[in-house]
Amino acid sequence: MNILIVDDTRLNLEYAKNILIENKIPCHIFLANSGIDALQFLSSKRIDIVILDIVMPEIDGLEVLKKIRKDKKHNNIPVIMFTSLTDKQALKKSFEHGATDFINKPIEPIEFISRIKAAIRMRKYEMHLNETLNTIKDQNEELLSLNKKLQETQFYLVQKEKLVAIGQLAAGVAHEINNPIGYVSSNTETLSKYIDKIKTAIYKYRELLDCLNETDIQSKEIENRVAELYELKKKLHLDFILEDIGSLIDDSFQGLEKITKIVQSLRNFARHDLENDFNQYDLNDIVEESLLLIRNEAKYIIDIYKNMEELPLIFCNRTQLGQVLLNIMMNAVQAIKSQGKEDQGVITISTFSTKNHVVCEIIDNGPGIPKNIIDKIFNPFFTTKEVGAGTGLGLSISYDIVVHKHSGELLVNSELGQGSTFTVKLPIQKISS
C-alpha cells in the first residue's frame, strides 16, 4: 500500500510518518511538501491513499484534489484531508469535490491511525472489486468468443446436416426424375417413328399430285393411286397418329416441367445464401416442394394424403421453412419405416388457416414418441437413431427456424403405438403496402 502525505509543514510530515511507522502500518510512505510535488508523485508512482493538507502556497489542497478526481487513473483513490479548525469552509468544499475523509490538525495519533486503517480497508476492498471486475470482463470476453465459435459451429453443422439430407435425397430425386425422363424419351422415340410414317404418306401424296399434273394420264391410273393412298393411310394409322401427337407433346412438356421443379427444389434446399430471404409465400407451395423431394423415400411403403386448404400468403423464408417441413416429413417416414411393418404406413398433410395463423399438420401412424423423451426431441443432438444414422439436429434446427426466426410455434402430440402429429403454426402478417 503506497501512502502519499502532502503538507507544506515539514514537522507535520515527519510526525505523520512516525506515527505510521510506530504503529507498524504496512505501507510505503511518500512525503510531498507542496501541491506540485504531490502531483509529480501521483504521475510517477502508483499511489493508493493520499493525505492532503488544505492550505498550501501555490497549488492548495483543494486544487490538487480536483486534479486527482479529474484524472481517470486516480479518480477513485481515497483522499483524506488534513484540516485545522480554521479550515472548516475549505473542508466543506473538499467534500463537494470528492474528498473521502478528514483528519484534524494538530494530529491526534489514535484518530490518525484509525482513519488511515479505515482508508486502507476501503482501498483494499476497492482493489479487490477492480480485480473481480477485470476477471468478469475477461470471462465475458471469453464467453463472447465462445459464443461466436458456437454460432460458427452451429452454422457448419446446419450446412453439414443439409448436405447429409441432400445426400440421402439425391438417390430418391434421381429416381423421381428418372420417371418423367423415361416417358419424355419414349414419347420422343414414338414421335420420331410417327414422323417417318407421316413422311412416307406425304411422299405418296406428292406423287399423286405430280400424277394429276400430267394431262395425258389415264383415269384408271388416278383411281389406283388414290386407292393406294387410302391403303397407306390405314396401314400407317395416320388418323390415330395425328390425334396422338398432341397428347404426346403435352405429356412431354409436363414431364419436363416436373423435372425442372424437382431440380429447382433441390437447388433451393441446398442454397445457404438465402438465409435472409424473407418474402411473401404460400405455405402450400412450400409443402408441395418438400413433398416432391420426400415422395420417393415413401414409395411402396407409405401412402401420403394431402388435405390442403387455400391459404393466405405469409411473410417467411421459403428455404428455411422447406427445410423444416422436410425434416418433419423425413422423421415421419423414418419412424414408420423403423417399425418394419407389412401393412401400409400413412402420412397425412393438412394445411389450413385461422384468424392469425397458417397451420400445417404432419400426421403419421408410426410408433409414436415415448412420454419420457418427448420433452427432449427438440434438444440439439438428441436422437434415438443409431450412431451415424441421425445427427439429432433436425428438430432443433426446425424449432429455431419456426419459433425464433418466424415467431411461430412448433408443437408435437404423440400417442405411443398410434403415431405422432407435428404442427407448424406461422403468424399471418399484414402486407404493408
Ligand X SMILES: Nc1ncnc2c1ncn2[C@@H]1O[C@H](COP(=O)(O)OP(=O)(O)OP(=O)(O)O)[C@@H](O)[C@H]1O
Binding stretches for ligand X (CB under 6 A) = 161, 327, 331-332, 335, 364, 366-367, 369, 377, 382-385, 390-396, 420
CB of 330 to Mg ion, least distance (A): 6
3 state DSSP class of 208: helix
Distance of closest approach, residue 236 Cβ to Mg ion, in angstroms: 56
Nearer to ligand X, 4 or 362 (CB): 362
Nearer to ligand X, 164 or 174 (CB): 164
Nearer to Mg ion, 353 or 391 (CB): 391
φ/ψ of 51, rounded to 5, equals -110, 120
The nearer residue to Mg ion, 184 or 336, going by C-beta atoms, is 336
Nearer to ligand X among residue 180 and residue 345 (C-beta): 345
Distance CA(21)–CA(31), nearest Å, equals: 13
Least gap, CB of 168 to ligand X (angstroms) = 8
Q: Which parts of 380-409 interact with Mg ion (CB under 5 A)?
A: 394
The least CB distance from residue 369 to Mg ion, in Å, is 12
Whichever of 230 and 381 has its CB closer to ligand X, that residue is 381
Cis status of the peptide bond prior to 106, with omega within 30 of 0: yes
Instruction: Report CA torsion sign: 331, 335, 336, 340.
Output: positive
- Using the minimum distance from each CB to ligand X, give the nearer residue, 91 or 424: 424
For residue 427, the surrounding DSSP H or E stretch is strand 419-427
Give, in order, the Cα–Cα distances in Å from 357 to each of 70, 146, 319.
59, 37, 19
- CB 292 to ligand X: min, Å: 19
Residue 366 interacts with Mg ion (CB under 5 A)?
no
The count of residues interacting with Mg ion (CB under 5 A) is 2
Nearest 10 degrees: CA dihedral of 293, 297, 302, 306? 0
CA distance 123 to 100: 11
User: Is the Cβ–Cβ distance between 51 and 80 less than 8 Å?
Assistant: yes
CB atoms within 10 A of CB 311: 20
Q: How far is CA 61 from the centre of its chain?
A: 59
Alpha carbon distance 330, 325 (integer Å): 8
DSSP-based helix, strand, coil % in the chain, nearest 5: 60, 15, 25
Would you give the binding string for Mg ion spanning residues 309-348, x where CB under 5 A is met?
----------------------x-----------------
383 binds, among ligand X, Mg ion, none (CB under 5 to 8 A by kind): ligand X
Looking up cell 415422395, which residue turns up? 295
Q: Which does 410 bind (CB under 5 to 8 A by kind): Mg ion, ligand X, none?
A: none
Within 13 Å of residue 289, how many CA atoms lie on the same side as its CB? 23
Smallest CA-to-CA distance from 385 within 209, 164, 106 is with: 164
**Residue 421 interaction partner, one of ligand X, Mg ion, none, beta carbon < 5-8 Å per kind:** none
Nearer Cβ to ligand X, position 319 or 365?
Answer: 365
Least distance between ligand X and beta carbon 188 (Å):
39
Using CB atoms, what's the residue nearest to Mg ion?
394
* Binds 377: which of ligand X, Mg ion, none (CB < 5-8 Å by kind): ligand X
- List residues binding Mg ion (CB under 5 A): 331, 394
